Amino acid sequence: MSTFLENQLWRYATKKFDATKKISTEDLGVLKEAVQLSTSSYGLQPYKVLIIENPEIRAQLKPFSWGQSQIVDASHLFVFVNVVDLQENHITDYLTHFALTRGLKIDDLKGYADMMNTNIVNGLSVEQKTIWTAKQTYLALGNLINAAAELKIDVTPMEGFDAEKYNEILGLNALGLNAVLVAPIGYRHEEDNTQHYPKVRKPIDKLFITI
């Protein structure tokens, strides 16, 4: 069995973190780079990732996370937030960086810019753009989960939280951002019996259809 598959069997949505164990600066850097390298449509990455270390802020967020203890007990709290209303300036910022990275002139990318502005900025409603950018965060979350498993760091992906309250507490509305996903990361507590449960997934022959 490959190491990747072994890591997937090892990982689970941790229910109880050991609050005394903290992720090293080095490992946190690896996780940040893994998220940075995530695939994204057009390469835009229309989101940001907040890393909440402040215990007071995390205590404020806990009641709006169904009271789940992982919010305060995990070493770090990742909050994936998407751009609500993607505009031409987002495209321009991305392509300016694109040109600089690849040694191109910004004018060389005009066709690419026009396509994105036509298809996304002007081609979708605000609601559609919000849904589209929110979906991109799930791709980044996948990279976080897989990289963390390789480092034997636990991650608990969460959709069970009050996004409006998160936006209010974290000041996201003023930035045109919206909380989509929450991911406490750290180390499982030895008292978390969930870690010993067999992983339940659909059988291969029930999951895949070959045409």
Q: Rounded mean pLDDT of 91-116?
A: 96
pLDDT > 70? residue 68: yes
pLDDT of residue 2: 85
pLDDT of residue 1: 63
Q: Rounded mean pLDDT of 134-143?
A: 98
Parallel/antiparallel/unpaired status of strands 47-52 and 76-83: antiparallel
Of the chain, the percentage scoring pLDDT greater than 90 comes to 99
Question: What does pLDDT average to over the chain?
Answer: 97
Q: What is the CATH number of the domain that holds 32?
A: 3.40.109.10
The H-or-E segment that residue 178 falls in is: strand 177-186
At 133, the pLDDT band (50, 70, 90 cuts) reads very high
Q: Rounded mean pLDDT of 203-209?
A: 97
Q: Rounded mean pLDDT of 130-151?
A: 98
Q: Rounded mean pLDDT of 138-158?
A: 98
Read off the pLDDT of residues 7-20 as tens digits, 9 standing for 90 and up.
999 999 999 999 99
Which residue range forms the structural domain that includes residue 162? Answer: 3-207
SS3 for 23? coil
How many angstroms from the chain centroid is the CA of residue 171?
18
Q: Rounded mean pLDDT of 90-118?
A: 96
Burial of 200 (0-12, 13-18, 19+ CB in 10 A): exposed
Q: Looking at the 3D structure of the chain, how many domains does it have?
A: 1
**In contact, 163 and 147? CB cutoff 8 Å:** no
